[in-house]
């Protein structure tokens, strides 16, 4: 993959950054060019698509959109604190998208594009210094000037706040320099490819230093950033409202007077609100409802493959809790990789996705999307569905069949249907799967403590592949709930994180996937699609591969 | 009367203290960790520690309890672990919604239930009684959530008569406020209306066959006056008791109704807080509910004496 999917062809030759940017490019791939399902794939720019095809929506046409109106978006879960430093919920990103612009953004092909920066960053030859040029004449919603000092204040807050959710994303950032008001230089302790991916997410959202000074830890009570809209009101557990910001540098592109996110956790209620016109947009449409909504000529359904995955995790060494040194667990399935491989051979992913999700989600066998520039035949190698082989492996492992396994899973209807289908499936391969459904918060607790044999959970995905792998399988990594440790894998992942060469990263990730499939501590099952439905009275609504609903430049049709 | 009030007051205070302890320990006995629930996907041991420290969850339980009670006594319930918003401000926003919804539901239920109950008793054996009984049966048997979904489907999606979700504060726009609340209130009130109808009917039947009603009729009073001034007034004692007892049911019903109609009330706040293990919010909500129960029971006792002067409240409740 020699052609990097970035808009600026004449980048200075600054190697780590290229790697970082290339990392970001994965997403392109994931969504824009990904023929994941048979005969499907490709992109669509709008309109209703059949299952398996991506459609991201199109920008609003100024000639056919009227100014004014309040857009209501039915949201499936409540965002947490509206503070870019503290926010941990994916849903907060939907709200931030309208009121907190970032240094960089991703477009529908998941290419990194400048937002508050004027160009892609340049990196020094040793890879330890990243320079970012900033926009001029930009003001925060409180009227104060946006400049390099604001960027410095924001990044330093990300790094120093005790509850910061951004610190780990910023990796080895050592400090920030501001040679002038329009230039920011980020110093790194070592080259760090995933940095730009982070700056195209919440770590790159710049907060008003004045508001930070006044509000401190209460910034979320009245957040102030640069954005098309500014914060107006929040009714806890119910709604969040933003109104048009006259200070925004590109205010002429904004059509709506305001946006309201209304939290409606039930998918059928969201669909009903969409149909009744009480909401114009609904996120996380259920795969069960997609067909009916696509039939409705007044509605459009956007869909794109997510960057994450859903999988099964075996507990093979988590005794003292996540992050602690792995210990031996006295269970054959924890000690013998053959039994876990047998389990994987017993799974028919295609049938599973078809039966449970109407074929809308895509099969997945590794954390790397098939269309990624980092993908390789090794990374896409998929253990076949072979119940006979599963039984043979169980015999080789010397265990009695049916081999009993208990799976811990969330008690949501979708997950239950998934694990019930799995239960029927693996029986043929010689497994007796028992289901232990628990409520989500309890599930998180049990998984971190290591109180499980097998569990079903997923990851929403990030634009850099490192963020989708290392934290989950690296030795003692913060989310390695399997208690898995393979020093050879750790080496590969560290090299991939630091190298600038895409071919090299590709090769390293291919080797990593081979190791992952040999050890089978984590079995990847499928990749979700982001499903968003909206009324045809709205134009310009877009959902890119990062899954964020982009409504800031949408408008009502004239 | 004064002695009775004092006795009831200290009993109430004791109940309140006990419920505070039970709730405090109860939420902590739930499996699940609020720090984990808050951390979501981006969790690291350091972040979890920082969250626990910030909310004082790393302190010994007795210390946490003393701090909680001390602050709660001053009206400070801490801040929501999920959103960082002060719980007292969340309560101020949520309470009026649920109170308004409950009052509206009770009014609708009482009007419907008492009316249908009186009709069923007076027109005994007539089609009107069968109809009232049939409706009561439906009201009692059909679950709220199903009725709410049907209402949204037919009265919001198909006809657009009522909004499917949302809320407008009463002071902002009273008409819009009613428009948003009427459907949830009707749904919430159906079960209560059925119960009131059945109780009114049986109490009315008792009253209508009693001596004082016969005397009233013998005095030559018009049937309407006999029913409203004599029979119904006595029957209402039972109704008031039932409404008091059913308030708990109404609040639990509000949890479901608010969730379905997306109303920013107490019920929705409770259910979300439980799922997110938001200890400060759960504690405040339960404490407030317990207080409401105690106060309502007390008021119901007092109402007896207002409706029926024969009931004399003494210092000895036995």
Residue B84 distance to chain A (closest CA, Å):
6
B268 and A322 within 8 Å at the Cβ level: the answer is no
Q: Does B251 score more than 60 pLDDT?
A: yes
The larger pLDDT score, comparing residue A444 to residue A48, is at A444
In sign, the C-alpha dihedral spanning A266, A268, A273, A274 is positive
pLDDT of residue A370: 73
A263 touches B at CB < 8 Å: yes
Residue A304 distance to chain B (closest CA, Å):
21
pLDDT of residue A11: 33
Query: Of A291, A312, A302, A307, nearest to A357 (Cα)?
Result: A291
CB B254 within 8 A of CB B101: yes
**Distances from the Cα of B296 to the Cαs of B15, B289, B299, B303, in angstroms?**
14, 10, 5, 10
Residue A227 backbone dihedrals phi, psi, to 5 degrees: -175, 165
Q: Does A293 score more than 60 pLDDT?
A: yes
pLDDT of residue B229: 77
Q: Are strands A239-244 and A403-410 parallel, antiparallel or unpaired?
A: unpaired
Q: Which fold has domain A11-223+530-557?
A: Dipeptide-binding Protein; domain 1 (3.90.76)
Residue B302 distance to chain A (closest CA, Å):
36
List pLDDT tens digits, range A428-485: 999 999 999 988 878 888 888 899 999 998 888 877 788 889 989 999 888 899 999 9
Rounded to two decimals, the ipTM of the complex is: 0.71
Q: Does A46 score more than 60 pLDDT?
A: no
Q: Does A30 score more than 70 pLDDT?
A: no
- B3 forms beta bridges with none
* Residues B187, B144: Cα–Cα separation, whole Å: 6
Helix (H) or strand (E) holding A179: strand A173-180
pLDDT of residue A4: 29
Q: Does A268 score more than 90 pLDDT?
A: no
Q: B233 is written with which tokens?
A: 């007034």
**Distances from the Cα of A62 to the Cαs of A72, A299, A549, in angstroms?**
20, 21, 20
A327 touches B at CB < 8 Å: no
Residue A75 has what DSSP assignment? Answer: E
- Domain ranges in chain B are 96-314
List pLDDT tens digits, range A359-386: 899 999 999 877 667 778 888 899 999 9
pLDDT of residue A500: 67
Length of chain A: 558
pLDDT of residue A534: 95
A46 burial (CB, 10 Å; 0-12 / 13-18 / 19+) is middle
Helix (H) or strand (E) holding A68: none
Query: Of B211, B242, B41, B226, nearest to A460 (Cα)?
Result: B41
- The mean pLDDT of A105-114, rounded to a whole number, is 81
The larger pLDDT score, comparing residue A306 to residue B92, is at B92
pLDDT of residue A184: 96
Torsion angle of C-alpha atoms B38, B42, B48, B50, degrees rounded to 10: -90
A238 touches B at CB < 8 Å: yes
**Preferred mutation among A166, A308, A441 to probe B, highest tally of B CBs within 10 A:** A441
Q: B68 is written with which tokens?
A: 């909680």
List pLDDT tens digits, range B162-172: 988 888 888 88
Tally of CB atoms within 10 A around A456: 23
List pLDDT tens digits, range A204-258: 999 999 999 999 988 999 999 999 999 999 988 789 999 999 999 999 999 999 9
Residue B315 distance to chain A (closest CA, Å):
45
Q: Which residues, 6+ apart, have CB-to-CB distance to B64 below 8 Å?
A: B24, B56, B57
* Residues A556, A550: Cα–Cα separation, whole Å: 14
Q: What percent of chain B has pLDDT over 70?
A: 93
Q: Does B156 score more than 70 pLDDT?
A: yes
B277 and A165 within 8 Å at the Cβ level: the answer is no
Q: Does A357 score more than 50 pLDDT?
A: yes
- Domain ranges in chain A are 11-223+530-557, 309-527
- A404 forms beta bridges with A432
List pLDDT tens digits, range A385-428: 999 999 999 999 999 989 999 999 998 888 999 999 999 999 99
* Half-sphere exposure (Cβ direction) of A405: Cα atoms closer than 13 Å: 33
Residue A276 distance to chain B (closest CA, Å):
4
The larger pLDDT score, comparing residue A502 to residue A13, is at A502
Of the pLDDT bands very low, low, confident and very high (cuts 50, 70, 90), residue B308 is low
Chain A residues with CB under 8 Å of B152 CB are 269, 272, 276
The larger pLDDT score, comparing residue A521 to residue A40, is at A521
The larger pLDDT score, comparing residue B316 to residue B216, is at B216
List pLDDT tens digits, range B62-96: 998 888 888 888 888 888 887 778 898 888 888 88
pLDDT of residue B127: 85
pLDDT of residue B247: 73
CATH class of the domain defined by A309-527: alpha beta
Nearest residue, CB atoms, A444 vs list B36, B156, B264: B36
Tally of CB atoms within 10 A around A212: 18
Tally of CB atoms within 10 A around A536: 13
* Residues A50, A475: Cα–Cα separation, whole Å: 41
* Residues B40, B17: Cα–Cα separation, whole Å: 34
CB A216 within 8 A of CB A208: no
Interface of A with B in 440-459 (CB under 8 A): 440-442, 444-446, 448, 459
Q: Does B58 score more than 50 pLDDT?
A: yes
HEC-encoded secondary structure of A103-132: CEEECCCCCEEECCECCCCEECCCCCEEEE
A439 and B32 within 8 Å at the Cβ level: the answer is yes
* Half-sphere exposure (Cβ direction) of A456: Cα atoms closer than 13 Å: 28
The winner for highest mean pLDDT among A173-182, B225-234, B270-279 is: A173-182
A268 and B165 within 8 Å at the Cβ level: the answer is no
List pLDDT tens digits, range A88-103: 778 899 999 999 999 9
pLDDT of residue B306: 65
Interface of A with B in 478-517 (CB under 8 A): 478-479
CATH class of the domain defined by B96-314: mainly alpha
Q: Does A269 score more than 70 pLDDT?
A: yes
Which chain B residue lies closest to A457 (C-alpha atoms)?
B41
- The mean pLDDT of B201-220, rounded to a whole number, is 83
Q: Does B315 score more than 60 pLDDT?
A: no
A268 touches B at CB < 8 Å: yes
Q: B282 is written with which tokens?
A: 């759960």
A163 and B82 within 8 Å at the Cβ level: the answer is no
Residue A190 has what DSSP assignment? Answer: S
**Distances from the Cα of A455 to the Cαs of A84, A523, B44, in angstroms?**
31, 10, 19
Query: Of A471, A377, A389, nearest to A168 (Cα)?
Result: A471
Q: Are strands A529-535 and A281-282 parallel, antiparallel or unpaired?
A: antiparallel
A81 touches B at CB < 8 Å: yes
In sign, the C-alpha dihedral spanning A116, A121, A127, A128 is negative
pLDDT of residue B126: 84
Percent helix, strand, coil in chain A, to 5, is: 30, 25, 45
Beta strands per DSSP E along A417-493: 431-438, 454-459
Of the pLDDT bands very low, low, confident and very high (cuts 50, 70, 90), residue A546 is confident
HEC-encoded secondary structure of chain B: CHHHHHHHHHHHHHHHHHHHHHHHHHHHHCCCCHHHHHHCCCCCHHHHHHHHHHCCCCCCHHHHHHHHHHHHHCCCCCECCCCCCEHHHHHHHHHHHHHHHHHHHHHHHHHHHHHHHHHHHHCCCCHHHHHHHHHHHHHHHCCHHHHHHHHHHHHHHHCCCCCCCCCCCCCCCHHHHHHHHHHHHHHHHHHHHHHHHHHHHHHHHHHHCCHHHHHHHHCCCCHHHHHHHHHHHHHHHHHHHHHHHHHHHHHHHHHHHHHHHCCCCHHHHHHHHHHCCCHHHHHHHHHHHHHHHHHHHHHHHHHHHHHCCCCCCCCCCC
Of the pLDDT bands very low, low, confident and very high (cuts 50, 70, 90), residue A136 is very high
Q: What percent of chain A has pLDDT over 70?
A: 90
CA angle A30, A31, A36 (to 5 degrees): 70
pLDDT of residue A37: 31
Q: Does A135 score more than 90 pLDDT?
A: yes
Q: What percent of chain A has pLDDT over 90?
A: 58
B164 and A272 within 8 Å at the Cβ level: the answer is yes
Q: Does B35 score more than 60 pLDDT?
A: yes
pLDDT of residue B167: 86
B82 and A78 within 8 Å at the Cβ level: the answer is yes
pLDDT of residue A287: 87
SS3 A239: strand
């Amino acid at each position: 993959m020699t052609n990097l999917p970035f808009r600026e062809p004449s980048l200075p030759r600054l190697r780590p950054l290229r790697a970082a940017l290339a990392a970001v490019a994965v997403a392109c791939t994931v969504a824009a060019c990904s023929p994941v399902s048979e005969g499907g794939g490709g992109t669509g720019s709008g309109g209703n698509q059949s299952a398996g095809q991506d459609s991201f929506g199109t920008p609003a046409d100024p000639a056919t959109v009227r100014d004014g109106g309040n857009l209501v978006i039915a949201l499936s879960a409540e965002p947490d604190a509206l503070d870019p430093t503290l926010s941990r919920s994916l849903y907060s990103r939907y709200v931030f998208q309208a009121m907190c612009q970032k240094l960089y953004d991703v477009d529908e092909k998941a290419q990194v594009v400048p937002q508050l920066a004027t160009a892609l960053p340049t990196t020094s030859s040793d890879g330890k210094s990243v320079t970012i040029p900033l926009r001029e004449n930009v003001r925060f919603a409180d009227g104060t000037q946006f400049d390099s000092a604001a960027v410095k204040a924001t990044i330093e807050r990300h790094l120093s706040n005790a509850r910061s959710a951004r610190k780990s994303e910023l990796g080895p950032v050592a400090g920030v320099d501001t040679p002038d008001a329009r230039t920011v230089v980020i110093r790194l302790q070592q080259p760090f490819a995933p940095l730009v991916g982070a700056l195209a997410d919440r770590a790159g959202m710049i907060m008003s230093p004045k508001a930070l000074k006044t509000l401190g830890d209460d910034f979320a009570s009245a957040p102030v950033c640069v954005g098309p809209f500014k914060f107006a009101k929040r009714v806890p557990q119910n709604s969040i409202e933003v109104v048009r910001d006259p200070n925004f540098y590109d205010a002429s592109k904004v059509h709506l007077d305001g946006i309201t996110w209304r939290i409606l956790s039930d998918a059928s209620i969201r669909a009903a609100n969409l149909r009744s016109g009480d909401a114009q947009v609904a996120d996380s449409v259920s795969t069960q409802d997609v067909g009916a909504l696509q039939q409705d000529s007044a509605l459009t359904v956007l869909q794109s493959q997510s960057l994450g995955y859903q999988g099964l995790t075996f507990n093979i060494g988590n005794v003292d809790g996540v992050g602690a040194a792995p210990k031996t667990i006295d269970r054959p399935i924890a000690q013998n990789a053959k039994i876990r491989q047998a389990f994987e051979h017993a799974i028919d992913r295609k049938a599973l996705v078809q039966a449970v999700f109407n074929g809308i989600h895509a099969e997945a066998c590794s954390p790397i999307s098939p269309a990624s520039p980092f993908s390789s035949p090794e990374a896409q190698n998929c253990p076949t569905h072979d119940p006979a082989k599963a039984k043979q492996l169980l015999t080789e492992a010397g265990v009695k069949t049916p081999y009993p396994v208990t799976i811990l899973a969330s008690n949501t209807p979708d997950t239950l249907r998934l694990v019930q289908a799995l239960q029927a499936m693996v029986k043929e391969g010689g497994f007796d799967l028992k289901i232990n459904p628990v409520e989500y918060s309890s599930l998180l607790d049990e998984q971190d403590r290591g109180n499980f044999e097998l569990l079903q959970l997923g990851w929403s995905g990030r634009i850099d592949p490192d963020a989708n792998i290392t934290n989950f399988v690296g030795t003692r990594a913060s989310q390695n709930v399997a208690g898995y440790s393979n020093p050879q894998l750790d080496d590969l992942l560290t090299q991939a994180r630091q190298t600038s060469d895409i071919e090299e990263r590709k090769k390293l990730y291919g080797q990593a996937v081979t190791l992952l499939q040999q050890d089978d501590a984590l079995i990847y099952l499928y990749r979700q699609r982001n499903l968003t439905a909206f009324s045809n009275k709205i134009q310009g609504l877009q959902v890119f591969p990062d899954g964020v609903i982009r409504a800031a430049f949408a408008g009502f049709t004239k | 009367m004064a002695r009775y009030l004092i006795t009831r007051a200290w009993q109430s205070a004791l109940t309140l203290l006990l419920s505070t302890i039970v709730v405090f320990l109860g939420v902590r006995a739930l499996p699940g960790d609020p720090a984990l629930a808050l951390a979501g996907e981006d969790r690291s041991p350091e972040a979890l520690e920082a969250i626990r420290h910030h909310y004082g969850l790393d302190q010994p339980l007795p210390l946490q309890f003393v701090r909680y009670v001390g602050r709660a006594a001053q009206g400070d319930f801490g801040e929501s672990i999920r959103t960082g918003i002060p719980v007292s401000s969340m309560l101020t926003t949520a309470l009026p919604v649920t109170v308004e919804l409950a009052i509206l539901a009770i009014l609708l239920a009482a009007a419907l239930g008492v009316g249908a109950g009186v009709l069923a008793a007076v027109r005994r054996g007539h089609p009107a009684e069968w109809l009232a009984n049939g409706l009561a049966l439906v009201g009692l048997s059909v679950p709220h959530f199903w009725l709410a979904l049907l209402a949204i489907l037919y009265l919001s999606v198909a006809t657009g008569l009522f909004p499917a979700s949302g809320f407008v504060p009463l002071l902002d726009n009273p008409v819009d406020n009613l428009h948003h609340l009427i459907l949830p209130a009707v749904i919430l009130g159906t079960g209560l209306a059925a119960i009131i109808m059945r109780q009114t009917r049986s109490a009315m039947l008792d009253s209508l066959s009693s001596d004082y009603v016969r005397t009233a009729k013998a005095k030559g009073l018009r049937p309407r006056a006999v029913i409203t001034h004599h029979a119904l007034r006595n029957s209402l004692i039972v109704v008031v008791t039932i409404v008091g007892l059913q308030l708990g049911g109404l609040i639990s019903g509000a949890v479901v109704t608010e969730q379905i109609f997306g109303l920013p009330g107490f019920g929705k706040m409770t259910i979300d807080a439980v799922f997110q293990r938001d200890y400060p919010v759960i504690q405040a909500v339960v404490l407030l509910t317990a207080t409401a129960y105690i106060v309502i029971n007390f008021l119901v006792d007092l109402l007896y004496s207002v409706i029926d002067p024969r009931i004399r409240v003494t210092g000895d409740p036995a």
